[in-house]
Amino acid sequence: YKTPHSMQLEQCEIMALLWILSCLAFIGATYGCGVPAISPVVTGYARIVNGEEAVPHSWPWQVSLQDSTGFHFCGGSLVNEYWVVTAAHCNVRTSHVVVLGEHDRSSNAENVQVMKIAKSIRHPNYNSYTINNDVAVIKLATPAKLSPRVSPVCLAETSDNFAGGMKCVTSGWGLTRYNAANTPARLQQAALPLLTNTNCQSYWGNKITNLMICAGASGASSCMGDSGGPLVCQKSGAWTLVGIVSWGSGTCSTSMPGVYARVTSLRSWIDQTIATN
């Protein structure tokens, strides 16, 4: 049977356990999805052409995909400590690296995490001609260390509806002019309105499928080098991955909408692939 002393000890143990759990919950909340520790500042809701420099580390899920020489070729989005979502057309190999926590690619002073890749899995129905199913997931060889500069984005739910006209944000180190010699050193962002697919088809015709979502035609655009990176919209106060930079005008025209892989349509494949790998 229990003595008052043992009951008191149990109470202490329960209190200690609750305290530990509340601390863990706080840590989880601190780096929950879609809520940057460093708040983004988006002015010009104005590939990223006519964008602006992002507040350093305010898009903490943004990753740079680099080859062995350190050349940045695509973006991506951290969705949990082991997995990154990017575009299938980026052709990520296990010899490439994922760089987390970067803002200024010309700086050696940033405390970045350079992660090896254990697996790179493209959507099996990716079609390089139609650019349908332009999604891939990357499994990191070791887990990312979550911090104020590195935390995951939320993934849009299959049932979510993000309406035409909604202002969303894309980010990346892609070209700021389609004919520029180099990609920018510092992370750029641009606020872009979503288009309905019907509206987008008035620009791109039957190339637009239900596996795509369009944004832009508003004086800003994604461009080469932004591919695989995020198009995020706010949902219930959390930034949510709605699109993956996929394709667009060859000159990154800011009067043509950019086309993004539609996460709501691809979410079930993302979930299944992460769960089984």
Q: Tell me how far apart the alpha carbons of residues 116 and 82 are, in angstroms, rounded to a whole number.
A: 11
Q: Quick check: helix, strand or coil at residue 19? A: helix
Enumerate the H helices of the chain as residue ranges.
Answer: 4-30, 197-204, 263-275
- pLDDT for 172-231, tens place per residue? 998 888 888 888 899 999 999 999 999 999 999 999 999 999 999 888 788 888 999 999
| Of 43, 49, 45, the residue nearest 254 (C-alpha) | 49
Catalytic site residue from 96, 134, 221, 265: 134
- pLDDT for 30-84, tens place per residue? 589 999 999 999 876 545 667 889 999 999 999 999 999 999 999 999 999 999 9
Yes or no: say if 207 and 249 are a contact pair by the CB < 8 Å rule: no
What's the pLDDT at 24? 40
HEC-encoded secondary structure of 75-118: EEEEEECCEEEECHHHCCCCCCEEEECCCECCCCCCCCEEEEEE
Enumerate the H helices of 31-66 as residue ranges.
Answer: none
CB count, 10 Å around CB of 238? 15
- Structural domains of the chain sorted by starting position, each given as residue range(s) with its CATH number in brackets: 61-152+268-275 (2.40.10.10), 154-265 (2.40.10.10)
Residues contacting residue 112 through CB under 8 Å, at least 6 positions apart = 99, 100, 101, 102
Q: Which residue's entry shows tokens 């970067």?
A: 102
pTM equals 0.88
Residues contacting residue 127 through CB under 8 Å, at least 6 positions apart = 133
Catalytic site residue from 64, 221, 227, 249: 227
Catalytic annotation present for 227: yes
User: What would you report as the CA-atom Rg of the chain, rounded to the nearest whole angstrom?
Assistant: 20
- pLDDT for 126-174, tens place per residue? 999 999 999 999 999 999 999 999 999 999 999 999 999 999 999 999 8
Yes or no: say if 156 and 263 are a contact pair by the CB < 8 Å rule: yes
Yes or no: say if 221 and 190 are a contact pair by the CB < 8 Å rule: yes
Q: In the predicted model, is pLDDT for residue 117 greater than 80? A: yes
Residues contacting residue 176 through CB under 8 Å, at least 6 positions apart = 48, 49, 51, 183, 184, 188, 223
Residue 27 — pLDDT band, cuts 50, 70, 90? very low
